[in-house]
A and B are shown apart, each in its own frame.
Chain A
Amino acid sequence: MNAPSKTAKLSRRDFLQLTAIGTVGAVIAACAPPASLSGSGEASAGTAAKKSVFVFECCWNAEHIKAGKELYTKFRSEHATIDVIDFWPAAGEDWTAKLLAKVAAGDQMDIIWWCASHHKFAEEGRLVDLKDLVASDTSFKLEDYQSVGVDFCYDQPKRGGALWGVPTNYATVLLWYNKKMFDAAGVPYPDTKWTYTDLLDAAKQLTKDTNGDGKPDEWGISIPNDSWYYQPVLDAFGGGAVNIDEDQPCKLNQPQSVEALQWLQDLYLKHKVAPTSADMAGLGSQAMLISNKLAMGFWPEWAQFDFLPAHKDTGLEYGVTLLPTGSAGRVTNYWAGITSITTMAKNPEAAWEVTKFIAGDEYQRMMTVTLPESPAALIKTTDFRFKEYDKYPEDRSALIESPKYGRQYFVVARYGKELGDIVTPGLDPVWEGKTAPAAVVDDICAKVDAKAAELKAKKGSSGMGICRPCTA
């Protein structure tokens, strides 16, 4: 008997059987209903006559998406000729990747509520200059928005050049404090008259070694080693970080900036009133304030949404005030969120209607007022939020006043990401206590200025930057 071969030869019958199976499978696959293609990213049925407007939304949270969808439903019912197709990224830092993936795939995108920097799109000619649309629309006034937010929308300083969007939301930096710790130390609460000297004095009184091991267990102040938090200090001292609109953008090596950086470093190393990362042992500084281990900290408006539940659930008593004044006055950072129309928009007028809706009071009250997010840049919405909607802390006037002291945050300005990538690692040795600020700032500035010159010479070289509030 011959040994059977290890592999059988395919007979004609077998081949036909396999072909039949394959064909049936392919037919089933091809006929498989593509589940439902409705939903975001697709026009709804019966909208052929309507002007479709695709919106790429910012990435706040699930409640925001829920409320946003309801608002768009309302918009559709009120605008018979416009069909809004809203797209909501899942969350967080995926925003930029998702946007770029859609652009790479050639997806239609008429409106973008920016989470990252809009400058790259502006430089590449992907955004519509809204100046004419704004000028011809009497129902829309840029004066209704926070001034620094409007500045941010223009291409050039002093509101020059194109208008790349309308202000939509914002964030600033404020001084939050734990009342219980102030009461225990007998230190008066911070107020709007405070200077940075007062802040340091209070921090010294509030820093305590409660268990006698020679190390503080309760800390006076936390100003995170992040440009978002230290830039206002540099500005208030009369210096600055980076201003891309100047010929030599880097301001870190100015004497006032060096003084401010030294003051910040001293908080950790000399006065030991601020916890280092090691002292925090992986905890967030907000968690430390909630746990009565930190008396003061710099945080944006959205800190309210960690502190307020702690107030309700654990009895945390806290307050908020403006940042202290320095030799150059009071300065806070201003992060501006704007909404733009892209040149892909087939119906710019319809897109403008939707843009106005997004930046308008009704939408913003729902999206950024009744939800735990940064408030709208529309002044009346901001006022409503902090005067009428919030009920704690008792004095919320700082939340309304803060934008008035806002200066543009350099990392979200043009080339901000690229220059920030030089500044941040450059200052790391300062925060690690390895060197004094004066020893590194000249080197950082040389690199920043060289990079800025290189980027300015090359059109379209802006990066997408970071989706700042989404990754904070």
Chain B
Amino acid sequence: MSEKNLELNLLTSARRAPQPRSAFLSRKTLLEILRQLILYIILIAGALPFLFPLIFMLSTSLKSKGEVLLVPIRWIPSQIIWGNYYEAMFGYLPLYWFMLNTLKVVLGSLVGDVLVCALVGYAFARLRAPGRDILFIIVLSTMMLPGQVVLVPTYILFRYLHLLNSLWSLILPNLLAGGAFFIFLFRQFFQTINPELGDAAKIDGCGLFGVFWRIYLPLSTPVLATVAIFSFFWNWNNFLWPLILIDAQDKFVLAVGLKLFQGAHTTEFPLLMAASVIALLPCLLLFFSAQKYFIQGVVVSGVKG
């Protein structure tokens, strides 16, 4: 081995030889820790203003009524009253019942929003029929009308249908593909799927519905998840329509029921906050468990939930 080669070998070995472990790791680790620390400080500082209402809500939900108005705010109640949650759920108001009603509306609407709107979106995307595009524009134009404008006519319509004071008045419009926005989403997504897949399925003996059910729906997970998540949030938080269409307290949904904790002159703040925490939990759980789809949904639709 020539001297030159030897030198090269030595250099290579030296390069390969591990650095003194502690010195190398400590510097890298320190830098990484510092980076992480700065990142976390920035993130926590940014999150605090958003967490503040949540912390206030949690704190108030555990206070006595007399302690709620004390200034400066007592973040940790002098006496923690877990009973507020029970009282909110089963005592002062039947919140559990409002939750059940909400769940019925949410699930019923979910079926409509996901399946029926998908069917309509599929028709607009892939079927040829006279006046299809004009019909689609008409469907889209319903999105331009603010809900308040059609409030009274819709109320009268539901009265003729004898559906006032019924949870069906909240579910039925969704079951009959009332969500123009969701139809739009489905149509746009289905148009991105190669039609040759459907044609191939037809050659193999699939019918029109089979193509939709076996080809288009399985390929549409992102838009299905998006619609499902938005449908859940919108119907869970829906206030105006249930307020107008439902009079009987035993048919109230959560959003309207929460308002009952607010009296004419006084508000049952601890119970209201406990009820709000309870009402928030399913949304939080859904958000954390379906965070990926939620973010995907924002990207797909361009709107926040």
Enumerate chain A interface residues (CB-CB to B < 8 A).
4-11, 13-14, 17-18, 21, 25, 29, 32, 34-42, 58-65, 87-88, 90-92, 94, 98, 101, 104-107, 115, 283-284, 286-288, 290-291, 293, 300, 302, 305-306, 309-314, 316, 372-374, 469-470, 472
Contact = CB atoms under 8 A, between A and B. Distances in A.
B251 A17 contact: no
Contacts of A470: 264
A8 B206 CA distance: 13
A34 B208 contact: no
Given A8-B202, A35-B167, A90 B259 contact: yes
A90 B129 contact: no
Contacts of A40: 165, 247-249
B247 A59 contact: no
Contact of B208 (A18, A283, A306): A18
Contact of B195 (A8, A14, A373): A8
14 contacts: A17-B208, A29-B175, A37-B162, A40-B165, A40-B247, A62-B263, A88-B247, A90-B259, A283-B71, A288-B71, A309-B64, A310-B69, A314-B66, A316-B66
A41 B92 contact: no
A472 B208 contact: no
B152 interface: yes
Contacts of A107: 159
A334 to B, nearest CB: 16
A35 B64 contact: no
A64 B66 CA distance: 21
B264 A59 contact: yes
B54 interface: no
Contacts of B70: 287, 290-291, 310, 314
Contacts of A288: 71
Interface residues of B, number: 57
B3 interface: no
B172 A36 contact: no
B220 to A, nearest CB: 17
A39 B264 contact: no
B265 A373 contact: yes
B172 A29 contact: yes
Contacts of B123: 18
Contacts of B67: 310, 313-314
B127 A291 contact: no
Contact of A306 (B64, B261, B266): B266
B294 to A, nearest CB: 30
Contacts of B71: 283, 287-288, 290-291, 293
A39 B248 contact: yes
Contacts of A313: 64-67
Contacts of B65: 309, 313
A13 B207 CA distance: 9
B152 A305 contact: no
A14 B266 contact: no
Interface of B: 64-67, 69-72, 92-93, 116, 123, 126-129, 151-152, 155-156, 159, 162-168, 172, 175-176, 195-196, 198-199, 202, 207-209, 243-244, 247-252, 256, 259-266, 268
Nearest to B243: A90
Contact of B152 (A7, A105, A309, A373): A105
Contacts of B127: 7-8, 10
A232 B252 CA distance: 41
A5 B20 CA distance: 68
A105 B155 contact: yes
B266 to A, nearest CB: 5
A39 B152 contact: no
A101 B165 CA distance: 15
B49 to A, nearest CB: 16
Contacts of B252: 90
A77 B262 CA distance: 31
Contacts of A58: 264
B256 A90 contact: yes
B291 to A, nearest CB: 33
**Which of B65, B156, B198 has most chain A Cβ within 10 Å?**
B65
A7 B264 contact: no
A216 to B, nearest CB: 15
A139 to B, nearest CB: 29
Contacts of B251: 35-36, 39
A372 B92 CA distance: 14
B164 to A, nearest CB: 7
Given A39-B165, A39-B250, A41-B248, A8 B126 contact: yes
B244 to A, nearest CB: 6
A445 B71 CA distance: 40
B248 A302 contact: no
Nearest to B123: A18
A29 B176 contact: yes
A98 B166 CA distance: 17
A87 B72 CA distance: 40
A105 B244 CA distance: 11
B92 A8 contact: no
